[in-house]
Amino acid sequence: MYNRLTKLTGVFLCVISMISIACEDDIDPVIQELNTSRVFAPVGLEARVRNQVNIELSWTADPSVDQYIIEFFQDSLVFSGDPVSTATVDEIPAQGTITYTESFSGETVYSARIKAVEEGLAESKWATVAVKTDPEQIFLALPGENVQDTYATVLWAAGSEVTHLLVSPGNTLVQISDSQRAAGSATIDGLAGATDYTVTLYNGTKRRGTVTFSTLKEATVTANDDLAAAISAAADGATLIVAAGTYDIGGTEITKSITIEGQKWYDMPVVTGQFTCASSVSSITLRYLDVRGENNYGQFFNASAAECNLGALTIEGCEISGYDNNIIYSNSGGTYGDITILDSYIHDIPGGGGDGFDFRGGVVGSLTVSNTVIAKGIRSLLRMQVPADVVFTSCTFYQACIADNSNNRGFFRMSGAGNSLEVSQCLFVETGLEGTGGAIYGNWSRLGDIDPAVTTSYSDNFYYNAIGLFEGEYTDPGSVDASEADPGIVDPANGDFTITNQTMIDEEVGPARWRQ
């Protein structure tokens, strides 16, 4: 038995050896060059809609290709009948991405296909993609004075093919005359005051633009009135509509729930003075006000006594400037519930003796700052020494945290042993500075300034020409999800913070009103 197994084993090994040798004899040589009779199809094809009706195609360049042929069809990957548009691209870069853009109708599905052509080879197969354009927007920006209490004049590109307007609420159809069509202008009468309207422009059944606006509210305070006295006399829960003009309120304590709103967002009343809280107040709303400290006040809003118990503070569409130290302050042990700042412009607050949002004691529920520009000043942006939920989203910080002061701790200080900090889709430009003696100011956060108990969330942030932002707590931009890029801000020195960087526009970085 043993001999038989030995013989069988020997035979088996011989067979394996023969197979192995045979396999080695049949191995093909390594392919050094791929020869094909047909061009490879374009790869990486993507389609994006730009400015409602422009379709941008992009794909990876192949330098061996002589030209690319592009066809568009008005369908969804059917490619039936004749194309609605054709084009060729014959300038091929050595590497990178090729883009091609063409304009089409709004609210329409289009298919695009691209093939590559190279001399001596068969054309490639088609690479395909489908995309739907957005509703057109041929309405022009609506000047504030075009909207009044009972009528509004809307504007569009003169001479465009348009047939009628649809006004909502009410679903009122307004036909457009030949003269209005040629002029690109129509006045809509019979509107109600203090009402939000949406007007849609049509050519037959196709939408060509949409505009929204609010008709004016009747002013209850005029430039001849004493605004501070009106605030004092107002009933709890009242709304004061303030006409354009100049008002000096001094240091005004708010003792009741109140809304103080400028009548015209495009011509805001100028209010000089300071708001304070020293008692229990359910809510305060400040809207469409140009509030100035004129360097006579330390802060725009102050919880000036421990008895302050403010449920909600909302600041919307305001411009705030000229305070010595703070935007919002608490050092008295007062209580803030929810603080919300949106669509505002805060600037020229040097902060030699205090920080922007400066909470050194008391209680804070939450602080949310969104779609807001903070520029030209501020010592430290946030000093939160009590637990709170804090959010900064879609904000632009321009020349902020630039005080040459040893108390400049940069942007975010959350030392209150709890709650959360979110910073997302924010832009930091020309922030921080090299101070006296070479000290660097303008950190995202200094070492130890964010308590370990605080939950942090950072996403889609950008920075440019920032000094000291990544020293201290964070030394790697990736740790706060920040990318370096030039936003192409149009004219920040004169208050125009429009960004032109397409990536930032696509990712909705910074305030919406400043994206082209």
Q: What is the CATH number of the domain that holds 181?
A: 2.60.40.10
68, 116 in Cβ contact below 8 A?
yes
Segments forming the whole domain that contains residue 166: 144-214
Q: How is the beta sheet containing 206-214 ordered, strand by strand? A: 172-175, 164-168, 196-203, 206-214
Rounded to an integer, what distance in angstroms lies between the CA atom of residue 388 and that of residue 365? 5
Rounded to an integer, what distance in angstroms lies between the CA atom of residue 351 and that of residue 381? 9
Q: Is residue 316 included in any domain, yes or no?
A: yes
Q: Are 210 and 114 in the same domain?
A: no
Q: Are 91 and 169 in the same domain?
A: no
Rounded to an integer, what distance in angstroms lies between the CA atom of residue 432 and that of residue 421? 21
Q: Are 69 and 193 in the same domain?
A: no
Q: Is residue 303 included in any domain, yes or no?
A: yes
φ/ψ bin of 232: left (φ > 0), alpha (ψ from -120 to 50), beta (otherwise): alpha
Q: Which residues contact 8 (CB under 8 A, 6 or more apart)?
A: none
What local confidence, expressed as pLDDT, does residue 4 receive? 36
What local confidence, expressed as pLDDT, does residue 52 receive? 86
Q: Is residue 342 included in any domain, yes or no?
A: yes
Q: Is residue 2 included in any domain, yes or no?
A: no
Rounded to an integer, what distance in angstroms lies between the CA atom of residue 494 and that of residue 156? 28
Q: Are 200 and 298 in the same domain?
A: no
Which of 192, 214, 236 is the last residue in one of the domains? 214
Give 72's strand partners: 85, 112
**How many CB atoms lie under 10 A from the CB of residue 424?**
18
Q: Are 459 and 490 in the same domain?
A: yes
262 burial via Cβ count (<10 Å: 0-12, 13-18, 19+): buried
Rounded to an integer, what distance in angstroms lies between the CA atom of residue 187 and that of residue 123? 56
Q: Is residue 256 included in any domain, yes or no?
A: no
Q: Are 56 and 172 in the same domain?
A: no
What local confidence, expressed as pLDDT, does residue 5 receive? 33
Q: Is residue 25 included in any domain, yes or no?
A: no
What local confidence, expressed as pLDDT, does residue 35 receive? 57
Q: Are 451 and 373 in the same domain?
A: yes
What local confidence, expressed as pLDDT, does residue 18 receive? 39
Q: Is residue 414 included in any domain, yes or no?
A: yes
What local confidence, expressed as pLDDT, does residue 16 receive? 36
Q: Are 182 and 125 in the same domain?
A: no
**How many CB atoms lie under 10 A from the CB of residue 86?**
10
Q: How many residues does the chain have?
A: 516
Rounded to an integer, what distance in angstroms lies between the CA atom of residue 446 and that of residue 474? 8
What local confidence, expressed as pLDDT, does residue 26 receive? 52
Spans of the chain below 70 pLDDT? 1-35, 516
Q: Are 369 and 415 in the same domain?
A: yes
162, 176 in Cβ contact below 8 A?
yes
Rounded to an integer, what distance in angstroms lies between the CA atom of residue 125 and that of residue 116? 8
Which of 214, 245, 276 is the last residue in one of the domains? 214
Q: Are 174 and 195 in the same domain?
A: yes
Q: Are 375 and 485 in the same domain?
A: yes
Q: Are 362 and 473 in the same domain?
A: yes
Which of 190, 214, 238 is the last residue in one of the domains? 214
What local confidence, expressed as pLDDT, does residue 106 receive? 87
Q: Is residue 302 included in any domain, yes or no?
A: yes
What local confidence, expressed as pLDDT, does residue 25 receive? 47
Which of these, 310, 379, 373, lies nearest to 349 by C-alpha position?
379
Instruction: Give the count of domains, the chain.
Output: 3
